[in-house]
Amino acid sequence: MSVTREPGLRVPAWVHDVVASVLIVAFNAAVVAFRPGEISPAWVVATSAPAALMFVRRRYPRTVLAAVIVFSVVATLLPPSGAGTIVAPAFALFSTASVVPRWRGWMLTAGCAVVLAVAVSVGQDVSFGAALAQSGLVCGIAMALADAARTRRAYTDELRLRALRAEQTREAEAARAVAEDRLRIARDLHDSVAHRISVMSLSAGVASSTLESNPQAAQEALSTIRSASRAVLTDIGALLGSLREQTVVGLASLDELVGDFATAGLEVDVRVDGDVAALPAPVDVLAYRVVQEGLTNAMKHGDGDARLGITVTPEQVRVEVRNRVGRTAPTHTSVGASYGLLGMRERVDEAGGVLEAGRVGDEHALSVRVPLAAQVRA
C-alpha cells in the first residue's frame, strides 16, 4: 500500500553522525591550536571518545548523553581545557531530547548546563555565572532544535497517517461501489429476464398438458417458448450492452413491454395520465422496472388480465398495477415474487418513494409513488 512520502532528499543518518564527529574533533583541534600547552593522554581519550559515541547516539541516546557528559567534565578539568568540550554534549543532548517528552528534555537541558558550568568554573578561571550562561546557551539551542525536530517528525507522521487513512477510505468506497454495482446488475437481470422465464414456464406447462389432447395448442405454446427464449437472450445482450454503454430503458418502451405480455397471454388495460417523456432519467427507469415487476407477478399469479395506471404530476410519478388473484397463488407469497418485490422495495426506498403491495378484496394491488426530485442510480 502506497503512502505519501515527505518531499525532498532524505540524508542518511550516518552522514549526520560523521558531521557531528568531525565537528567535535575540529573544535578539540582548535583548542589545541589556540591554547598550547601540555596535552595529557587522558585529555585525548576524554575528547576523542565522544566523537566515536556519535555513531551510537540514536540507539542508546540516554547512555551516550551520560557518557559524553562524564567525558566532557573530565576533559574540562584536564589541560588544555576549552570551549571544544561543550560541542559533544550539545549533540548528545539533541539526540536524547528529541525522543523524550518535552518537559523531561528541558530538565535534562538544565541539568547538563549546570553540570558543565560547574566543571568549567572549576577547571578554568571563569565565574560560575559566566560558565552557566555559556553552557545554558549551547544546551538551550540544542534543546530548541530537538523540540523542532520532534514537532516536524510528529507532523510528518500525521501526514502519513492521514494519507494511509484516506487510501483505506478510498478502498472501502471502491468496495462499496462494487457491491452496489453487483446488486444493481442482479436487480436489472431479474427485472429484464424474470417475466420471460415466467412465460416460458407457463407455456411449457400448457404444452405438456395439451401435447396429446390438443396438438395445435401445444404447438402454439412451444412457439411462445421459442419466442420467449429469444427475447431472454436479447434482454441479456441488451443488459450487457447497457453495462458497457450506460444506456437504460424507460417508459418510452412501455408499448413494447405491454405487447410482450400480451403475446404471452396477459391482457393489460393501460391508462397513462401526464407526460412520461418529461420524467427524469433515473425516475423513468425506476417506473419502467416497477411496471415490469408488477405485470410479471400479475401474469404468474393472476387470472389473465391486469390494469396498469401511470400518473405523472409535477411532484411525483405514481405507478399502480392491479389484477384479480388467481387460484395458483392467492397471496403472492412465492419465492420469486417475494424476491422481486424485495428488490423493487429497495430501489423505491433509495429513491425516497413509497411502495405498497397487498390484497384489496379479490385483487392484488402494487402501488408505487416516487418523487420527481429523487436521485437514484440509473
What was the pLDDT predicted at 4?
41
Task: Report if pTM > 0.75.
Answer: no
What was the pLDDT predicted at 3?
39
The tens-digit pLDDT sequence of the chain (378 residues) is: 333 444 445 667 778 778 888 888 888 777 776 666 667 778 888 888 888 888 888 888 889 898 888 888 888 887 765 545 788 898 888 888 888 888 888 898 888 888 888 888 887 777 888 888 888 888 888 888 888 888 888 888 888 888 888 777 777 776 776 677 667 766 766 666 766 677 777 777 777 777 777 777 777 777 777 777 777 777 666 666 655 544 567 888 888 888 888 877 788 999 999 888 888 888 888 888 889 888 888 888 788 889 999 999 988 999 999 998 865 444 444 444 555 677 788 888 888 889 998 888 888 899 999 998 644 444
Which run of H or of E encompasses 44? helix 41-53
Exposure of 345 by Cβ count < 10 A (0-12 exposed, 13-18 middle, 19+ buried)? middle
Those residues whose C-beta lies under 8 Å from the C-beta of residue 310, and which sit 6 or more positions away, are 251, 254, 270, 271, 272, 273, 274, 276, 287, 291, 317, 318, 319, 320
What was the pLDDT predicted at 321?
93
